[in-house]
Structures are given as C-alpha cells and as structure tokens.
Amino acid sequence: MLQAVQASGPASSSKSRRGGRSGMTMPLIAPSVVILLIWSIVPLVMTLWFSFRHYNLVDPTQTGFAGFDNYVYLLTDPDFWASLINTLILVGGVLLVTVCAGTLLAVLYDTEFFGRSIARLLVIAPFFVMPTVSALIWKNLMLHPIYGVLSALFRDVGLSPIDWFSRAPLLTIVGIVSWEWLPFAILILLTAVQSLDHEQREAARMDGAGPVASFFYITLPHLRRAIGVVIMIETIFLLTIFAEIDVTTAGGPGVATTNLAFLIYARALLQFDVGGGSAGGVIAIILANIVAFFLVRSIARNLEV
C-alpha cells in the first residue's frame, strides 16, 4: 500500500488529476452548477422583465411596456437614495462593531480564567437566536420606553428613559444586529487566536514586548485571514437584512431605517407595485454584484485551489 503511494509519485498523480478524466467528473459537479444557474438566472430574467412593465397587483388597468419609467421613478425618488445610504451604514456599522469588539473579546476569551468555558457558551448564545425573536426581545423586553429593562435602569439612576426607535432608530438597529453577529465574529477569531503559536508570544514577552505591542505585532497579523472571512460572511448576510427591520420599525420613522431590501419589499408587497419593486430588485442585484466583485477579489487571494 505504502509502496503504491510512493510509486505513483507527484508527477503521475498530477497527470491523472488534469488529464483525460475530466469528462468523468462532470456528472458529479454538474447538478450543483445547473441548479444554481437556474436559481440565479430564471428569477433574475423574470425580475428584469417585470421591471420594464407596468404591473400593479391591485390596479389591472396598468399594463404594457413601461420602458425605463420604473427605473427613472426609482432613481429620482429620494427614498431610494436614503435607503442606499442606510444599507451602507447598517453593513459598515455592524462590521465595525463586530470586528473590533470580536477581536478584543477573542483575545479575552483565549486567556485562562475561572469558568471560562461557561462564559463562552453564554457569549455565543445570541448566534443561535432567530432574527425575528432577537428583534422582538430587544424591541419589547429591553428597549420598550415604559416597560423595558433598560428604561427601568435609566429611571433607577435618575435619567429619563429614551424611546430608542424614534430617537436613534438606525443606530439602535445597528446595535441589535451587532448583538446577533458579535458571537459569530468571536467564534471564528477565537479559533484563530487559539491556533497562534504560544511560544512565539512567550518569546515576544521575554524580549520585552508588552501586551499591547504583542497584540498589534503578533496577534493582529495572525488574524488577518480570519478577519477577512468574518467580513465576507457577515457582508453576505448583512446586505439582505430584513426581519430585524420588519419587526422593530417597519422601515420608519419615515425612511430612517429603510434599507434597500426593505424598500423593495415595501414597493412590491405593500404598495403592490411589482414593476417598481422589480426595478429596485434589479438595482439591488447590480449593487450586490459590485460588492461581490470586490469581496470575491479579496478572498480569491486567500483561496488556495
């Protein structure tokens, strides 16, 4: 057995990998590629088609070809631009909080202390809570201006409670979503910190590097790849945040918390304007592809194929 492995050698193995056998691998990979192609193209084509039509679910008189009307209507709508900026703030804000806090907490939960494994379980718990439920807990039990826990705490120390969803709506949503995603960042970064060579850190300490210096010059460079993964996975999910907004503010007050996903939803399903909603969908897809292009380029460098 062992001799057979050695006999096959690197040269012949790479030949069998690339050579004539590629035909035999097609049936294995084709199903996934084909269904993903259908999944990404059929709805896209239909969305594109609707976006050039007058199509309103409650107004059957609106039919026919619309040209670029739906797009012009959308692009000249200040709500659209507001939702675009909200989307960026939401994604950027949550990434900033989770990556910074996640890195520091990963280092904290890597150091030994009493009951660390239980503390870790408590910290990662929010990751398993469904977004609808987290939104409901925060909206009602925590932040409710009269009955919420935070309001009670505010009153106890003599401050007047704040109605978070009307005073700082977008910031509050960023906070809730950060609470949901911080455990994910901690989990990945903690695993990466654990793989760090402890002898290397010990050597740095002997050479007189303080904890701050060793964090910036040893830990942080080591975490680069893991931070890249956190940013990529989170961005994929944060771009399409929906449940948290739907449950807490329904996009309001005004359009203060409307992101692009919620704007399209409101157009297509609340105002029944399929044409306008589809135009929004097309724009969202184009934007997602721009983001995907840059993200994918940065992971492509980390990807060994």
Partner 1 sequence: MRHTLGGKIGLAVLGWGIAVVMFFPIFWMVLTGFKSELQAVNPSLFFHPTLSSYADVQSRANYFAFALNSVVISVGGTLLALLFAIPAAYVMAFFPTHRTRGTLLWMLSTKMLPPVGVLVPIYLLMRSTGLLDTRTGLIIIYMLMNLPIVVWMLFTFFKEVPRDILEAGRMDGAGRMDELRHVLLPLSLPGVASTGLLSLILCWNEAFWSLNLTSSRAAPLTAFIASFSSPEGLFFGKLSAASTLAVAPILIFGWLSQRQLVRGLTFGAVK
**Helix, strand, coil % over all residues of the chain, rounded to 5:** 75, 0, 20
Note the Cα 77 to chain centre separation in Å.
Answer: 26
Torsion-angle region of residue 162: left (phi > 0), alpha (psi -120 to 50) or beta? Answer: beta
Choice between 108 and 162, CB closer to partner 1: 108
Buried b (16+ CB within 10 A) or exposed e, 165-175: beeebbebbbb
134 binds partner 1 (CB under 8 A): yes
Tokens 């609707």 sit at which residue?
Answer: 50
167 binds partner 1 (CB under 8 A): no
Q: Residues in contact with partner 1, total (CB under 8 A)?
A: 119
CB of 137 to partner 1, least distance (A): 5
Choice between 76 and 301, CB closer to partner 1: 301
Q: How many CA atoms lie within 13 A of 295 on its CB side?
A: 17
Give the interface segment with partner 1, choosing from 76-84, 91-99, 160-168, 230-238 (CB under 8 A).
230-238
276 binds partner 1 (CB under 8 A): no
Q: Which of 77, 84, 89, 126 binds partner 1 (CB under 8 A)?
A: 126
User: Binding marks (x or -) toward partner 1, 238..257, rule CB under 8 A?
Assistant: -xx-xx---x----------
User: Binding marks (x or -) toward partner 1, 189..228, rule CB under 8 A?
Assistant: -xxx--x-----xx--x-----x-------------xx-x
166 binds partner 1 (CB under 8 A): no
Nearest to 288 by CA among 248, 259, 256, 258: 259
Give the interface segment with partner 1, choosing from 18-26, 72-80, 89-97, 158-166 (CB under 8 A).
18-26
CB of 236 to partner 1, least distance (A): 5
In angstroms, the CA 140 to CA 228 distance is 34
Tokens 């709500």 sit at which residue?
Answer: 79
Tokens 């709506």 sit at which residue?
Answer: 169
Structural tokens at position 40: 């990404």
Q: Which of 11, 206, 212, 300 binds partner 1 (CB under 8 A)?
A: 300
Hey, which residues does 273 pair with through a beta bridge? Answer: 56
Interface positions, 85-124, toward partner 1 (CB under 8 A): 105, 108-109, 111, 113-116, 118-124
CB of 157 to partner 1, least distance (A): 14
Whole-Å CA distances, 206 to 4, 193, 203, 210, 259: 48, 20, 5, 9, 51
Greatest extent of the chain over all pairs of C-alpha atoms, in Å: 80
164 binds partner 1 (CB under 8 A): no
User: Binding marks (x or -) toward partner 1, 26..65, rule CB under 8 A?
Assistant: --xx-xxx-xx--xx-xxx-xx--x---------------
